[in-house]
Amino acid sequence: MISQILNGHEQGFWVITDGSQIWLNQGELPHGKAHEFNLTNCEAFVVGEYGTSPVWLVTQTRSSGMYSPRQLLDTDIELFQLIGKAVQLSEFHTSHRFCGYCSTIMHPSRTEWAMLCHNKACRQRYYPQIAPSIIVAIRREDKILLAKHTKHRNDIYTVLAGFVEVGERVEQAVSREVKEECGIEIKNIRYVSSQPWPFPHSLMLAFMADYAQGEILCDTKEILHADWYDTHSLPNLPPYGTIARRLIEDTLVLCRNDN
C-alpha cells in the first residue's frame, strides 16, 4: 500500500500496466532488476510475493509490447492471481484520481488498498470495485449442458455465466442466468470454488447444479447454441486452468458415474 520510488536495484516480477493491458518482455512477464526494464525513478507498489520474489505494480503505458493479461493464462495460478491483482489495482488508482463527491484529488491509503479524499470536509474512502459473477455447470443424468457463447471466438462450448445483479442473492443469480440464457430450471445448486478474474474486476463464484425441468430455449443475444452432451460426444472445451474447465471435468465425473 505504501508506494516507493524505484532506485533501479529492486528486483522481482514487474507488472507494468495501464489497468487493462500489461507490458510483456518477449511474451513473458518481466523478471529481474528495475533498471533492466527502464523503471528507475518510477513509482511502484509491492502487491505480493511469488516464491521469494516480490511482485511489483507500476502504472505505465508503453507504446509497444502491451498485451491483454489473457496472454498469461498459462502462467502458474498463484502468479496469475497476483498479476490480476496488480492490473485491477492499477485500474482502480487510475479511475479514482478524483473524489466522486467533491472532485478533490485523491491519494492511495498507506494502510490498505483504498483511495482517500483529503478534503477535510469530505474524507471519503473508496475501495476497489469487485463485481461478483456466477458460473455454473448443469448435469442431466449422464449429460452436461454446454453452450456456445456469442462473445467467444473459436468453436468453444462451455458452461453458463453471468453477473450478480444489485440486490440479488448469489443463488438467485445462478437460477436467473440459467433461465434467461437457456430457458431451463435447475435444482441442487452447490457452491464449488471461486476465482478472481481481472477482466476487468470480476470475482467468479463457481457452482454445480442439476437439471429440474424445461426445454432448452436460447437467448440468442448471448448464446448461439446449447445442448446436452455425454462424455463420448464432447465439443471443443475451454482450456485447462480455467474454472469453467474444472467445473466441466468435475461434472463429467458425475456423468460417468450415472452411466
Binding residues: 70, 99, 102, 112, 117, 122, 127, 161, 177, 181, 195-202, 222, 244
How near is the Cβ of 128 to Zn ion at its closest, in Å?
A: 17
Q: Does 126 sit near Zn ion (CB under 5 A)?
A: no
Residue 119 interacts with Zn ion (CB under 5 A)?
A: yes
Q: Which helix (H) or strand (E) holds 13?
A: strand 11-17
Q: Which residues contact 166 (CB under 8 A, 6 or more apart)?
A: none
Cβ pair 201, 129 in contact under 8 A:
yes
Total site size for Zn ion, rule CB under 5 A: 8
Feature table: binding site for substrate? 70, 112, 127, 195-202, 244
Displacement of CA 71 from its chain's centroid (Å): 13
At its nearest, how many Å lie between Zn ion and the CB of residue 113?
18
Residue (101 or 199) nearer to Zn ion, CB: 101
Which contacts (CB < 8 Å, 24+ apart) does range 197-200 have? 197/84, 197/133, 198/69, 198/83, 198/84, 198/85, 198/87, 198/88, 199/69, 199/70, 200/19, 200/20, 200/88, 200/91
- How, if at all, do strands 11-17 and 53-59 pair? parallel
Report 170-209 residues binding Zn ion (CB under 5 A): none
CB of 122 to Zn ion, least distance (A): 3
73 touches Zn ion by CB under 5 A: no
Nearest-approach distance from CB 127 to Zn ion, in angstroms: 15
Q: Does 105 help bind Zn ion (rule: CB under 5 A)?
A: no
Q: Cell 449442458 belongs to which residue?
A: 145
Residue 122 as a binder of Zn ion (CB under 5 A): the answer is yes
Non-local (6+) Cβ contacts of 257 within 8 A are none
Q: Is 102 in the site for Zn ion (CB under 5 A)?
A: yes
115 is a site residue for Zn ion (CB under 5 A): no
**Judged by CB under 5 A, which of 117, 145, 160, 226 binds Zn ion?**
117
CB of 49 to Zn ion, least distance (A): 34
A 10 A CB-CB count for 257 gives 8
Among 77, 61, 89, 82, residue whose Cα is nearest residue 13: 82
- Position among 53, 71, 124, 172 found at the interface with Zn ion (CB under 5 A): 124
Rounded-to-integer distance, Cα 122 and Cα 160, Å: 42
Smallest separation (angstroms) from Zn ion to the CB of 102 = 3
Residue 25 near residue 36, CB atoms below 8 Å? no
From 88-96, 100-108, 157-165, 215-223, span contacting Zn ion (CB under 5 A): 100-108
Binding site for Zn ion (CB under 5 A): 99, 101-102, 104, 117, 119, 122, 124
